């Protein structure tokens, strides 16, 4: 009687042990979800920002990451000379530019604020 119950307990314990393939499948699914929800959109945003930085040209109105608005007066490889007020020019790194301000963006912002 004791031996039979011992075998029954061992069989129950073996049935409850998770399989390795199930664990691997779960890990792969979690990675796929993270890729499509986090990694891929971040890469797209970085690529779009880099394209925007590459298209900066003279007389573009820009907003820096520090919140300074200005007009680009000179474009060098990694530096921009930006006029932030009449006869006040500063040099900023190209990577600090947050966005290029266009007429369409200004109109959209004004409509939102009304």
Neighbouring C-alpha atoms within 13 Å toward the C-beta of 106: 8
Instruction: Print the domain residue range for 81.
Output: 57-114
What are the pLDDT digits (tens) for 7-21? 656 555 555 666 788
Q: How many domains does the chain have?
A: 2
What are the pLDDT digits (tens) for 20-35? 888 899 999 999 999 9
Shared domain check, 33 and 11: yes
What are the pLDDT digits (tens) for 66-114? 999 999 999 998 999 999 999 999 999 999 999 999 866 666 666 677 6
CATH number of the domain to which 63 belongs: 2.30.30.100
Domain end point (choices 54, 70, 98): 54
Domain end point (choices 54, 73, 90): 54
Taking CA atoms, 3 is separated from 12, 14, 16, 17, 104, in Å, by: 15, 17, 20, 22, 83
Shared domain check, 96 and 46: no
- What's the pTM? 0.65
Cβ(95)–Cβ(53) under 8 Å?
yes
Shared domain check, 68 and 48: no
């Amino acid at each position: 009687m004791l031996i039979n119950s011992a075998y029954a307990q061992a069989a129950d314990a073996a049935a409850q042990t998770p399989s390795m393939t199930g664990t691997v499948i779960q890990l792969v699914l979690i990675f796929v979800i993270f890729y499509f929800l986090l990694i891929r959109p971040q890469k797209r945003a970085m690529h779009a920002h880099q394209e925007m930085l590459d298209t900066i040209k003279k007389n573009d109105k820009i907003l820096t990451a520090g919140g300074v608005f200005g007009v680009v007066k000179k474009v060098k490889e990694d530096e921009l000379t930006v006029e932030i007020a009449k006869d006040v020019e500063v040099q900023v790194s190209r990577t600090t530019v947050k966005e290029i301000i266009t007429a369409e963006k200004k109109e959209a912002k004004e409509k939102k604020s009304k």
